[in-house]
């Protein structure tokens, strides 16, 4: 059989390098060697996953395509991370993607593994047309309240873009700027631009919390990034409240009053 004229290692290499023809594939399907059967099953799974990612990208690009057709050339997705934690800033990002350089796999940052999250972050940094970041500190959150602080961070992120956006796709918020915009519930699952902003905001904030862990090593900021985990609450009880804690948030406020 012609398919068996190649070794399993050679077939594996051809699959990895994607240098095989339809005829090769059909021939290998007739090959009964267990190693070849396993290789084809693995390749088939990769193809299915790629089709799924392409379909997701297509579905999440509908809004961008719609607004480009209406004449908007600089569409920024805007999202934030860090509304719920007891410590650290709220961080927002605005991202204008390059429609000529698609980044496959963009989705809600909460659904991504750390490896995939950082891989996509690097691709966004390399290929996006513009990225803006807004940061509002714990002290400002206490002063403004978390809702207004989030708006402020988003506004700063948009103003930080070196290309002016002419349309905003925003995750569940209206930004006080004179720029046309659409607010989307669960926007990071519906728009590639918002998903990209979600990824940039999350990685940026996570890295800030890792740095804070160096200043405050007793709190585990590098692990829970400020959320109210059992470890974090225990550290608050043992070591007290830092300048990075949000004193208007109940678990922190309650400990102020003890």
> What DSSP letter does each residue of 17-86 carry, written as one string?
TT---HHHHHHHHT---HHHHHHHHHHHHHHHHHHHHHHHHHHTTHHHHHHHHTT---EEEEEEE-SS-S
H or E element that contains 134: strand 130-136
From first to last of its 258 residues, the chain has per-residue pLDDT tens of 444 578 999 989 999 888 899 999 898 988 989 998 899 988 888 888 889 999 999 999 999 999 999 999 999 999 999 999 999 999 999 999 999 999 999 999 999 999 999 999 999 999 999 999 999 999 999 999 999 999 999 999 999 999 999 999 999 999 999 999 999 999 999 999 999 999 999 999 999 999 999 999 999 999 999 999 999 999 999 999 999 999 999 999 999 976
Encoding tokens for residue 235? 């550290």
Query: Do the strands 167-171 and 130-136 form a parallel or antiparallel pair, or are they unpaired?
Result: unpaired
H or E element that contains 132: strand 130-136
Q: Domains along the chain?
A: 2-59 (no CATH), 62-211 (3.30.420.10)
CA dist list (Å): 82 to 75, 98, 112, 139 = 24, 27, 16, 14
Q: Nearest 5°: CA angle at 159, between 71 and 61? A: 40
d(CA 177, CA 171): 15
């Amino acid at each position: 059989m012609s398919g068996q004229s190649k070794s399993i290692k050679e077939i594996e290499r051809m699959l990895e390098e994607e240098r095989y023809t339809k005829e090769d594939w059909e021939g290998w399907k007739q090959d009964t060697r267990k190693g070849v059967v396993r290789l084809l099953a693995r390749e088939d799974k990769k193809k299915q996953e790629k089709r799924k990612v392409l379909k997701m990208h297509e579905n999440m690009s509908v809004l961008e395509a719609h607004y480009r057709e209406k004449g908007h050339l600089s569409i920024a997705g805007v999202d934030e991370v860090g509304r719920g934690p007891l410590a650290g800033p709220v961080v927002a990002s605005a991202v204008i993607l390059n429609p000529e350089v698609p980044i496959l796999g963009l989705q809600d940052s909460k659904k991504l593994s750390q490896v995939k999250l950082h891989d996509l972050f690097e691709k966004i940094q390399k290929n996006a047309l513009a990225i803006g970041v807004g940061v509002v500190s714990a002290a400002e959150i206490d002063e403004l309240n978390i809702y207004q602080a989030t708006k402020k961070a988003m506004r700063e992120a948009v103003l930080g873009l070196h290309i002016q956006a002419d349309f905003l796709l925003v995750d569940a918020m209206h930004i006080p700027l004179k720029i046309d915009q659409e607010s989307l519930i669960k926007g990071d699952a519906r728009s590639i631009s918002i998903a990209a902003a979600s990824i940039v905001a999350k990685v940026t904030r996570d890295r800030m919390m890792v740095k804070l862990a160096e200043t405050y090593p007793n709190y585990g900021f590098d692990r829970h990034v400020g959320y109210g985990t059992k470890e974090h609450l225990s550290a608050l009880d043992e070591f007290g409240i830092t300048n990075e804690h949000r004193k208007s948030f109940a678990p922190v406020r309650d400990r102020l009053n003890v």
